[in-house]
Structure 1
Amino acid sequence: MKKWLKLLSLVIFPALFLTACDDDDDNDGMSAQARVMVIHASPNSPAVDVLVDDKKVNSAGLTFPNNSGYLDVTAGQRNLKVNAAGTATSVINANANLEENKSYSVFAINILANIEALVLTDNLTAPASGKAHVRFVHLSPDAPAVDIAVKNGPVLFSNRGFKSATDFTPVDAATYNLVVRLAGTNTVVLDLPGVALQNGKIYTVFARGYAAPLAGNTNTLGAQVIVNN
């Protein structure tokens, strides 16, 4: 459990995580809102609890590779904690400057020995008619850089390494057979058949798990889809 303490110092996220907390930002019940989603993407880490200003917001421990859904929080400086489930041990403990009407994804990533956080600002602008928006995030800690392509079709995202994230990208609303290939090659490392991207929807697809699982760990390389709207 000591390894979880490494994230106590994770207050270095540009433009998001600050070094001081000011609870005076809570003006009244009509305060402007922001939204935060926490995603458990560390393949050998235990379940976690999510706390906003020390109030637990999940009813059961969040397990790999699931997410909390968006949590409505008062905009301004908030304290966010992700704790090992059922304990007071924080894996993320940071003060966040959450901007009004913005949405954020906080991914707990990497193996337990090197656990860290990846924070993304989510652009949830509505897609044009007939379109969906999709982004890809590479969160498999031992997988090489990859391309994501339509099977027998074009490359959608190229040369994405661990911890990298694309922007939300418009695509035609349809059901796709996707493949994940070693970057710059035709070598398929993961098939993603039947990925349905619906009209008007916004999606995050992230690679998760191990390319070569550790002993006793069954979290093999796969993909997880989040519907962001």
Structure 2
Amino acid sequence: MQRNSKTRRGVLTVAGGALVALAGCSNSGGQSGTPTETGTESGEMASTDTETAEPTETEAEQATEDETETPMGGDAMLRVAHLAPDAPNVDVAVDGTAVLTDVPFETVSDYLSLTTGEHQITVTPTGGSEAVFDQTVSLASGRQTAAAIGEVSGQNQAFTVTLLTDDAGTADTGNTNVRAVHTIPDAPAVDVTSGETVIADMVEFGDAGEYVTVPSDTSTVELRPDSLANDEEPVGTFSVDLTDMAAQTVFATGYLEPSGGQPEARLVVATDAEPDGMTGGTETGTGTATPTGTSSGM
């Protein structure tokens, strides 16, 4: 059985002092992230029969700054995933403009269309004023996911944001292109399998496997302690509902051994691409998978 190499990722760390603000906010949970309108209409310039008003140099410079403040509508597609299981709801801004508000744990946003190049991404606890992540990221052409992972408590894994490159390639009829991303803070490296199919192997926390083609009627996914033989008993078996011909990411998140109200391990399934002509085009969302077996510690 051929084993898959891990997909490279960019890790964007958060200053430790910002975690205090995040940990101090309550998690309202259970709400959908609310997208915020980012387009700005520019009014037409008024004119008279005798003369045409011309903008001053200062006005022209200000207009240029306003137009470039949030460069939307480019070739870079960015979505945001909240996969930090002990973090509260958050607001997300791009280049100073709010694009998502009140985003709860296990939410994956729709793709935002941005220009390629550098953008300032800011993540702030909903209702708070101090950002827990405020850094410039460089976006390439194509689809990418900025995933908030880890823990504000730092008990198992430090809170961070990782930038993943998504695949827009779709599968043939009867199949789905699937990759797995490991975001379970209390789990070591794992193999992700479905029956005899290895979806990802030796996946460390925060890493992603490469896309693997699996039958669209695949109904379960197993997490196993990493081993060369891939014959270890699964620590979790989860139900999954895949979309025919699509490319999808399966985020493993939550806790293997939750305590004090922490969320249990589950899968969040996001659609990276769908074939042309399918209703709805490219969509993203969350899909919580309930364990169908008993999870045990590793």
Given that 2:95 and 2:120 are in contact with CA atoms closer than 8 Å, whether structure 1 keeps it comes out as yes
Give 3-state SS (helix, strand or coil) of 1:196's partner.
coil
> What do you get for the CA RMSD once the two structures are aligned?
2.7
* C-alpha displacement of 1:107: 0.9
Q: Which of 58, 82, 90 is the equivalent residue of 1:48?
A: 90
Q: Which residue of 2 aligns with 1:109?
A: 149
- Structure ID, larger Rg: 2
* C-alpha displacement of 1:129: 4.1
Give matches, 1:78-227, under 5 Å: 78-100=119-141, 102-113=142-153, 114-151=158-195, 153-184=196-227, 185-193=231-239, 195-214=240-259, 216-227=260-271
Question: Partners of 1:27 and 1:82 in 2: how far apart?
Answer: 18
Given that 2:72 and 2:114 are in contact with CA atoms closer than 8 Å, whether structure 1 keeps it comes out as no
Residues 111 and 30 (structure 1), Cα distance of their counterparts in 2 relative to 1, 3 Å cut:
closer
Identity of aligned residues (%): 28
TM-score by length of 1: 0.80
TM-score by length of 2: 0.62
* C-alpha displacement of 1:25: 9.9
Question: Partners of 2:93 and 2:252 in 1: how far apart?
Answer: 26
**Of 121-130 and 24-33, the range deviating more from structure 2:** 24-33
Relative to its length, the structure with more strand (as a share) is: 1
Query: How many residues of Structure 1 are paired with residues of Structure 2 in the alignment?
Result: 208
Question: Partners of 1:4 and 1:103 in 2: how far apart?
Answer: 31
Gapped regions of structure 2 (runs ≥ 5): 1-14, 21-64, 274-298
**Of 173-182 and 199-208, the range deviating more from structure 2:** 173-182
Question: Partners of 1:29 and 1:85 in 2: how far apart?
Answer: 24
Question: Partners of 1:45 and 1:93 in 2: how far apart?
Answer: 16
Give 3-state SS (helix, strand or coil) of 2:169's partner.
coil
Residues 31 and 144 (structure 1), Cα distance of their counterparts in 2 relative to 1, 3 Å cut:
closer
Given that 1:26 and 1:74 are in contact with CA atoms closer than 8 Å, whether structure 2 keeps it comes out as no
Q: Which residue of 2 aligns with 1:34?
A: 76
Give 3-state SS (helix, strand or coil) of 1:171's partner.
strand
Question: Partners of 2:165 and 2:124 in 1: how far apart?
Answer: 22
Question: Partners of 1:160 and 1:29 in 2: how far apart?
Answer: 35
